[in-house]
Structures are given as C-alpha cells and as structure tokens.
C-alpha cells in the first residue's frame, strides 16, 4: 500500500493420516499443472494493513514551488472511505474501464493472493495541477494494477505492472508522463527495475509491462518484499519532492528447504486447503469430518478450529506414529484391510503424540462401518462409528480403517506439501468434501 502520498515538480507534479507418509518426492514436470490436492483456492487479502490515507494536502508541493511557478502533486485517497466522489463521476463519464488482473472485483488498494500469485488494483491515485498563485488548473485520476506470478519450482517470478489514466478535467501539462521503479533487496536480481521513465500517458491509455526477477540461490528461506516508486510529472521538469512509494508484496523463496532437490517461491502467508473427498476416501474422510465436528480441537476446520501445521522432521513423524498407533492397539479384524488411522496427522505439529498423550488409547476411538459389498472400499466402508466412551475433549482420534483409504488420504497430504511448497510449521486447512 502506498506510504508516501505526495510528489511534485517544476511546471507540473512529479509523480495423516495413519500410514506414515513418504517424504515428498522431487516434483515431476506434470506437477506444474493445477493442484488436485487443493480445494479450489480463493484469494485472501494480505494480513498486513490496508491502503494508506493521504497524509498531505499538497502543502509540501506548494511550499517547494515558492509561489512563483506552477506545480502539481499526487495524493492517494483510500477507496474504502469513498475517496473523491467527483473523480468517480468523471471516470464514469469518461467511460474508461479499470485495468484488469486477478484482483478484478477487489479494486481497493489491498494486496490479495493465493499460494502462487499476488495482485492489487488501486483506482485512487490523484494528480492535481495548480498555477503559481495556487489556483486549481486541472486534475487526473490514475489506477495502478500489479500482479506477481510465482513458480513453486523456480526462483524466478514474473511481475506485470499497469498504470492507466481513468479520468481528467481542466488543464493538465501537455507532457504529462509516468516514471516507475521496482526495487528489491539484495536477495533479488536485478535489485532495481526501471519499468517506465518519463513515459507519456493520456486519458484511457494503459501502460503495461511484464518483467522477470530472480531470487539469488541460497540454502535458506528468503522473504521477498519489493518497494515501488511512482512519479507522475511533466517530462523534463525538476522534481520538488520525493516520489510516492509503497510495498506489501511479501512472499518466500527457498532452495532445497521445503522440498528436497527443488527450489521455488510461494506466498507463505496464504493458508492452503487440503481437500479430502468422501467419494475417494470413504471412512478415512468421515473420521476426519467426525473429529472436526465432535472433538473440541476442530483441527483444520476453517471458521471453527485452527489450521494444522506441517511437521517436516521424518524421525519425529515416526515417533508420533509409533505412540498413537503402535501402543495399546488391537486391530479390529472385522474391518477390511484394517489399519490404524489417526487424526491429526502424525506429520503435523497437532499430532496427539505432541500434545500430551502417552499412548493411542487416550485418543477417541472409531471404526469403519460397512454399508455395501461392491468391491470399492470407499463405497463399501463410507462412515465410522465410535468405540467406547468419547468425552469430546480428546486431543486425537484413532480409527480402524481400510488400508487403501487410510494411505490415500496420506498421499493427498504429501501432494499438498509438494503443490503448496509447505515448509516446516506452514499451516493448512483440511476440508472434507462429498
């Protein structure tokens, strides 16, 4: 979001699951396709604040002009508080549409994201032009649009920036132009990209440019946060104040940290959702849904419980599995292909073994219920029923579940880890679907 609200220039303004999961394998080329383990991702708004309010009324530009020359200034007024009604009517009268990207429909100056892209559209950048006597001469409204497309299997990403004059009135300098610079810290190459420099712009003209930036290879997690600088000014004039600046496009890159032998970048603050289908996983999916509804932890249930978080340490996963599923366990042989299934997953920090239990008998106990004999396990064993007394305060559930249903959920979790590039302690939701 834009932080500095003012700029000007001479003559114009400057502007698991029960079965132990295998470690995620190195992604294959086909893994770049749409992730099947995800529930349909809906973009989330960035948690770090909202659009900044204007902090100046062009007094700084007026003072710098010294009362003996025309001047211009830029302000950004939040659309959240209904900025400048006159500008809005002007834009409607001009019939100029806003620039478009994945944030179309959310043109409020906030950053939005999924795990693999970020965007924002800000329609309220205002340029105002005054004469040397501080008399208003004219004004223009600009929309700024940005989108970053990340690659979970590459340290290079693409950014597409747009600037568009969407309304104007009165008299403006004939040579009004745009300058834009994107800057990144030392982890990036290049560190600075001049997107436009004194690029002429007129009503309805959409400036658009796509460019690439690369995270310098490292053996750690790098958190990338760009700074953007925008000038709107009369080309060739001398700047009187600094350009407006903003940031907020924060994401994470790593090399061989979240996933072995691969490098990539994701929006770490976006929480993905593991989709577990009853049609595919029958009683294993029903056990998760039962626990989310009936046990006080409501693990992974969005809107009610807290998300789960990935546990990356393989030895700790095995230890968790052993404590929950290999202590006080007698498999119910009336269940086909019976195995011990558990939730929360052994490869999550929410595992019962990390939250106080000494053996699996302290979990709530359930078993698969047979409904049919078609030979399709998800159809034949679609639900669970409780065994013994359940208080609702148990920190885990342990189930007698057919093996392929149990391991199927586990394989989907591994797929989510790969597709979302989940690192240790990265959070995720679990959604049971039809």
How high is the pLDDT of residue 89?
A: 53
Are 121 and 193 part of one and the same domain?
A: yes
Q: Which of 201, 236, 266 is the last residue of a domain?
A: 266
Q: Which residues of 223-238 are buried (b: 16+ CB within 10 A; e: fewer)?
A: ebebbbbbbbbbbebe
Please state, as a whole number, how many other Cβ atoms lie within 10 Å of the Cβ of residue 185: 12
Using CB atoms within 10 A of its CB, is residue 392 exposed (0-12), middle (13-18) or buried (19+)? exposed
Are 252 and 291 contained in the same domain? no
400 CB-near residues (< 8 Å, 6+ apart): 331, 332, 335, 338, 339, 340, 341, 366, 367, 368
Q: How far apart are the C-alpha atoms of 161 and 163, rounded to whole Å?
A: 7
| DSSP code string of 388-432 | S---S--S-EEEEEEHHHHHHHHHHHHHHHHHTTPPTT-EEEEEE
Residue ranges making up the domain that contains 286: 273-433
Is 390 among the domain residues? Answer: yes
Buried b (16+ CB within 10 A) or exposed e, 315-335: ebbeebbebbbeeeeeeeeeb
Residues 6+ apart with CB under 8 A from 222: 187, 215, 216, 252, 253, 254
Q: Cα dist. 240→139, 175, 237 in Å? A: 18, 17, 9
Which residues on adjacent β-strands are paired with residue 264?
Answer: 254
Query: For residue 396, what are its two tokens?
Result: 């885990």
Task: Count Cβ atoms below 10 Å from residue 48 Cβ, excluding itself.
Answer: 13
Reading the chain (434 residues) residue by residue, the pLDDT tens digits are 444 334 444 443 333 344 444 455 555 544 555 456 777 678 999 987 666 555 556 888 888 888 888 988 888 754 433 344 444 555 565 689 999 999 999 999 999 999 999 999 999 899 999 999 999 999 999 999 999 999 999 999 999 999 999 999 999 998 899 999 999 987 899 999 999 999 999 999 999 999 999 998 777 899 999 999 999 988 887 777 788 888 889 999 999 999 988 999 999 999 999 999 999 999 999 999 999 999 999 999 999 999 999 999 999 999 999 999 999 999 999 999 999 999 999 999 999 999 999 999 999 999 999 999 999 999 999 999 999 999 999 999 999 999 999 999 999 999 999 999 999 999 999 999 99
> How many domains does one find in the chain?
2
CA–CA dist 434, 432 (Å, integer): 7
Q: What is the pLDDT of residue 148?
A: 98
Are 256 and 298 members of one domain? no
Rounded to an integer, what distance in angstroms lies between the CA atom of residue 424 and that of residue 91?
48
Cis peptide preceding 297, ω within 30 of 0: no
Is residue 242 domain-shared with residue 297, that is, in the same domain? no
Based on the domain organization, do 197 and 218 belong to the same domain?
Answer: yes
Cα 7 to Cα 234: distance, rounded to the nearest angstrom: 12
Residues 404 and 427 in one domain: yes
Q: Does 321 map to a domain?
A: yes
Q: Is 332 part of a structural domain of the chain?
A: yes
Structural domain ending residue among the three candidates 244, 266, 288: 266
Cα Rg of the chain, angstroms: 28
4 domain residue, yes or no: no
pLDDT the model gives residue 7: 43
Do 176 and 193 have their domain in common? yes
Tokens of 183: 């800057």
Other Cβ atoms closer than 10 A to 132: 13
Residue 255, domain member (yes or no): yes
Handedness of CA 181, 182, 188, 189 (dihedral sign): negative
Within this chain, do residues 33 and 48 fall inside the same structural domain, yes or no?
A: yes
Query: Is residue 36 located within the same domain as residue 68?
Result: yes
Same domain, 58 and 110: yes
Assigned domain for 9 exists? no
Task: Answer yes or no: is 90 within a domain.
Answer: yes
Question: Distance between the two ends of the chain, CA-based, in angstroms?
Answer: 40
19 part of a folded domain = no
Whole-number pLDDT of residue 30: 45
- End residue of a domain, out of 266, 298, 323: 266
Dihedrals φ, ψ of 171, to 5°?
Answer: -105, 130
SS3 48: coil
Residues 248 and 154 in one domain: yes
109 and 48 both lie in a single domain:
yes
Whole-model pTM: value is 0.87
Instruction: Please check whether residue 14 is in contact with residue 40, taking contact to mean a CB–CB distance below 8 angstroms.
Output: no
């Amino acid at each position: 979001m834009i932080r500095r609200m003012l700029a000007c220039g001479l003559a114009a303004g400057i502007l698991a699951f029960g079965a132990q999961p295998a470690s995620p394998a190195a992604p294959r080329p086909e893994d770049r396709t749409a992730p099947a383990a995800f529930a349909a991702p809906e973009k989330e708004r960035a948690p770090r604040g909202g659009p900044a309010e204007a902090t100046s009324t062009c007094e700084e530009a007026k003072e710098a002009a010294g009362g003996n020359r025309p001047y211009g200034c830029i302000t950004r007024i939040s659309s959240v508080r209904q900025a400048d009604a006159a500008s809005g009517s002007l834009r409607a009268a001009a019939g100029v549409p806003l620039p478009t990207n994945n944030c179309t429909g959310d043109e409020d100056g906030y950053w939005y994201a999924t795990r693999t892209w970020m965007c924002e559209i800000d329609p309220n950048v205002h340029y105002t032009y005054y004469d040397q006597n501080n008399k208003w001469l004219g004004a223009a409204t600009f929309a700024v649009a940005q989108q970053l497309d990340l690659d979970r299997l590459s340290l290079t990403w693409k950014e597409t920036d747009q600037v568009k004059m969407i309304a104007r009135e009165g008299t403006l300098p004939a040579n009004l132009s745009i300058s834009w610079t994107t800057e990144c810290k030392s982890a990036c190459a290049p560190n600075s990209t001049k997107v436009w420099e004194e690029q002429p712009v007129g009503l309805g003209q959409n400036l658009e440019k796509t460019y690439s930036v690369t995270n310098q290879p490292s053996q750690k997690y790098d958190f990338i946060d760009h700074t953007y600088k925008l000038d709107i000014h009369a080309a060739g004039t001398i700047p009187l104040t600094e350009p407006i600046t903003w940031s907020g496009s924060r994401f994470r890159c790593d090399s061989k940290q979240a996933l072995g032998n691969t490098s990539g970048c994701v929006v770490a603050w976006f929480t993905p959702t593991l989709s577990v289908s009853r049609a595919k996983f029958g009683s294993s999916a029903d056990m998760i849904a039962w626990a989310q509804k009936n046990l006080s932890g409501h693990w992974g249930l969005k809107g009610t419980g807290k998300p789960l978080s990935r546990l990356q340490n393989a030895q700790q996963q095995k230890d968790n599995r052993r404590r929950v599923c290999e202590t006080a366990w007698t498999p119910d042989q009336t269940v086909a292909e019976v195995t011990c299934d558990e939730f929360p997953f052994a490869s999550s920090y929410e595992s019962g073994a990390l939250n106080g239990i000494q053996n699996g008998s302290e979990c709530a106990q359930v078993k698969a219920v047979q409904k049919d004999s078609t030979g399709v396990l998800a159809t034949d064993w679609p639900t669970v029923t409780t065994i013994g007394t359940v208080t609702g305060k148990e920190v885990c559930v342990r189930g007698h579940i057919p093996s392929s249903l149990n391991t199927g959920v586990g394989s989907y979790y591994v797929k989510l880890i790969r597709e979302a590039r989940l690192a240790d302690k990265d959070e995720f939701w679990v959604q049971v679907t039809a």
